[in-house]
Structure 1
């Protein structure tokens, strides 16, 4: 598919995040591929996935566009979503349709800044679609200015300066879909059908739902807490 065909395929649809970390019950054993297949049967238009291994498994199961990330922890940085060229290179080698990376203003490992990293990534992979995982309006605006193909609200509420922000952040969605011309991916905090309907009342390009669909431990805990 061309980049425009990829963007057309996910337009106004639900992208399901199929991820499991090492401390979660569904980690490994090809579970993410099966989850992605179930998501496709349910009507998902795309998948978001972490690690090259999961991306490869998912691509064996579904032909949907995949937003790929690699979560890596470095001692000298709070940035963990695709923080360096090492992760970008690994994702590009999988043939993933969209690579997402942290686009906040926080320093990367070894003191690298976003502009320098993205300039290198764009030069090395000029035809790759890149998504900016942002926390606030300023992140989204800057990411659009330096050439990201999509911006997402992924990190709203998860950075020091946005901690405590209610998500989904409808005010942020309203502003970035009005003031920016880049496609917007709404991500974060969608648990209820009504929330998703409100998200789509704005001209977002697509929405990502993760925990509410693909993390049974968290889903179960939420229901149990309702009667505790």
Structure 2
């Protein structure tokens, strides 16, 4: 069964703890990943080479790998260099996700995609708009993610909900669509599938304990 077939109709769990938090250690990320697979996850999204190296030997499901970098001269954070893409594949990523927006970054988008494909992995385009998605398909991406909608200057809309419209518009392009970004309840994940997603990625609501705890604390405090 191909990687795409394994992900079809499934949940991808993004095991990305809060940066610098008490759970931000490779062995804990790997444990999160195993727990997610035990719960039925069809795939995983793992950030960082060390985390990927710790996780890959322990699971058989497809892994989407990314490297996040905070650059002084670019807002782009997700897999910004060819070197990072190659390192992810060497560490065991089946899919490499990259920022598919037109924003400047150290290496060209096209070169990153080319490097991913040259090493036999699939490219997942983290998009903010349907134009990003169209460009990504033309450049060779196999998976369209709605990951960056709401996180670029063009798409900041002050809406806490996911971009179901972008999911639907990507569906119309005929590619594999990964709904990602603020799908933080089972109900929203279900709506993503209805809107046309082939799979759904959920992160903070499952693997960032500090964030989930703060949500509950805020609700409880409001009742005082």
C-alpha displacement at 1:58, in angstroms? 1.2
Q: Separation in 2 of the partners of 1:35 and 1:204? A: 24
Q: Does 1:114 align with 2:104?
A: no
Verify the 8 A CA contact 1:137 1:175 in the aligned structure 2.
yes
Aligned pair partner of 1:186 in 179, 197, 218: 179
1:51 corresponds to 2:44: no
Deviation at 1:116, TM superposition (A): 4.1
Say whether 1:16 aligns with 2:2.
no
Asked if 2 retains the 8 angstrom alpha-carbon contact of 1:168 and 1:190, the reply is yes
Q: RMSD of the TM alignment (CA)?
A: 1.5
> Residue 203 in 1 paired to residue 200 in 2?
no
Runs of 4+, deviation exceeding 3 Å? 119-122
Is the Cα–Cα contact under 8 Å of residues 156 and 165 in structure 1 kept in the other structure?
no
TM superposition shift of 1:21? 4.5
- Partner secondary structure for residue 185 of structure 1: strand
**Helix, strand or coil for the counterpart of 1:83?**
coil
Kindly state the Cα deviation for residue 205 of structure 1 after the two structures are TM-superposed.
1.6
Q: Does 1:172 align with 2:169?
A: no
Quick one: distance in 2 between partners of 1:34 and 1:53? 14
Quote the residue 2:57 is aligned against: 60
Q: Tell me which moved more, 54-63 or 211-220.
A: 54-63
* CA distance, structure 2, for counterparts of residue 77 and residue 88 of structure 1: 18
Pairwise CA distance, 1:142: 0.8
Q: State the TM-score, normalized to the length of structure 2.
A: 0.93
Give unmatched runs, 5+ long, in structure 1.
none
Say if 1:107 and 1:114, in contact at 8 Å, map to a contact too: no
Distance in 1 between the 2:47 and 2:83 partners?
14
Q: Unpaired segments of 5 or more residues in structure 2? A: none
Pair 1:75-2:72 in alignment? yes
Residues 156 and 100 of structure 1: is their aligned pair in 2 closer, same or farther, counting only changes over 3 Å?
same
Question: How many residues were matched structurally?
Answer: 220
Distance (whole Å) between structure 1 residues aligned to residue 37 and residue 179 of structure 2: 19
Instruction: Name the counterpart of 1:40.
Output: 37
C-alpha spacing 1:29/1:58, structure 2 compared with 1 (3 Å): closer
TM-score by length of 1: 0.91
Query: Is the 2:128–2:152 Cα contact (8 Å) retained in structure 1?
Result: yes
Among 139, 162, 172, the residue aligned to 1:146: 139
- Shifted more, 8-17 versus 26-35: the winner is 26-35
